Structure 1
Amino acid sequence: MIKKYVLTIVALCLLMPSAVLAKESTNNELLELMVYKTPTCGCCKAWITHIENDGIIAYSQDFHDISPVKAKLGIGANYRSCHTAITRNGYAFEGHVPAKFIRQFLQQDHPNAIGLTVPAMPVGSPGMEVGDKFMPYKVLILFKDGSSEVFAEINSYEEQF
């Protein structure tokens, strides 16, 4: 009985108009992401834990090949990483983007943007922690015309949070 209730609530949430969800997500009240990943990727699971610890609701869907999802969204090969997360209003977050920057991006107006990416898998980024090792990296904003620009530069582990 409880399982049916939970499934009903999830189904109703999926049917909410994207404009309502967009408004809520920009006010930090509700933010949900669908994460497309491979079934065996441990760093994807660790990144999901990172965003959930920040209050973001994450649903995941496993695929053995998620490159068609990335291609459909317009994420070029040089911007790709191991997983892709999508908001209900269609913004994409590729790879190990810190939750802090997902929220910041969604609070701003980006009509020509696809979303944010952290290309490859930088050591020390959320989900890619290896002891106290850290590699500085950039969070890029991706635009519909295929271009990008730096959204944030992360030079220390602490700057991610």
Structure 2
Amino acid sequence: MKSTRPALIALFGAALIGLSSLGAASAADNDGEVTMFKDPNCGCCGKWAEHMRANGFRVKEISTHEMDMVKREAGVPRALGSCHTAKVGGYVVEGHVPAADVKRMLADKPAITGLSAPGMPQGSPGMEGPYPADRYDVVSFDAKGNTGVFASH
């Protein structure tokens, strides 16, 4: 029986390298490139990625069953969690944040860790459907635990 241990070690190493890309911003970060981590069974995450692509972003989707670890490594406060976690321009984008808010963050370059659309608000990008849209806030957060309303929808 052939051992799968080397393959598992290689896969784990690749996942760790991918997670390290969620760290601090670097000069090499490109504002138009989004790396999105998502659960392999989630459909709405792919819809958010399509929304971002339609708004000029290039999106790389990485499926993982380790979303809790991804969020922890990215510095996403538990209360601001959603279904997927992305990195763009050295910032973290948690959940169904509209592309317009991401573009504003990238243009203004605020001293924050990132933005979150906490939960999964109905009517947010990727969560469109037959139900009436929820009113929701996009929240900024930083490494010290400070939060604020970045935009209201």
TM-score by length of 1: 0.76
Deviation at 1:55, TM superposition (A): 0.8
Distance 2:93 2:66 in 1: 17
Q: Please state whether the residue corresponding to 1:107 is helix, strand or coil.
A: helix
Q: Please state whether the residue corresponding to 2:102 is helix, strand or coil.
A: helix
Q: Please state whether the residue corresponding to 1:19 is helix, strand or coil.
A: coil
Report the counterpart of residue 61 of structure 1 in structure 2: 62
- Cα contact 1:125–1:134 (8 A) shared by 2: yes
Report the counterpart of residue 93 of structure 1 in structure 2: 93
Report the counterpart of residue 127 of structure 1 in structure 2: 126
- Cα contact 2:52–2:99 (8 A) shared by 1: yes
Query: Larger % of helix: which?
Result: 1
- Cα contact 1:47–1:127 (8 A) shared by 2: yes
Identity %, equivalent residues: 36
Instruction: Work out the number of aligned pairs and report it.
Output: 130
Deviation at 1:153, TM superposition (A): 0.7
Report the counterpart of residue 72 of structure 2 in structure 1: 71
Report the counterpart of residue 13 of structure 2 in structure 1: none
Report the counterpart of residue 137 of structure 2 in structure 1: 138
Counterpart amino acid of 1:116? Answer: L
- Cα contact 2:29–2:90 (8 A) shared by 1: no
Report the counterpart of residue 3 of structure 1 in structure 2: none
Q: Deviations over 1:93-130 (max 9, x none)?
A: 0000000000000111323x111000000000000011
Q: After the TM superposition, which parts of structure 1 deviate over 2 Å for at least 4 consecutive aligned residues? A: 17-22
Report the counterpart of residue 104 of structure 1 in structure 2: 104
Change (3 A) 1:90 1:20: closer
- Cα contact 1:74–1:146 (8 A) shared by 2: no
Deviation at 1:132, TM superposition (A): 5.3
Counterpart amino acid of 1:90? Answer: G
User: Which residue of the other structure, out of 2, 27, 30, is the alignment partner of 1:19?
Assistant: 27
Report the counterpart of residue 18 of structure 2 in structure 1: none
Q: Deviations over 1:9-47 (max 9, x none)?
A: xxxxx9xx942545xx3xxxxx00100001110100110
Q: Deviations over 1:42-76 (max 9, x none)?
A: 10011001000001000011111211111112111
Counterpart amino acid of 2:107? Answer: Q
- Cα contact 1:92–1:115 (8 A) shared by 2: yes
Q: Please state whether the residue corresponding to 1:135 is helix, strand or coil.
A: coil
Distance 1:127 1:93 in 2: 14
Q: Please state whether the residue corresponding to 2:150 is helix, strand or coil.
A: strand
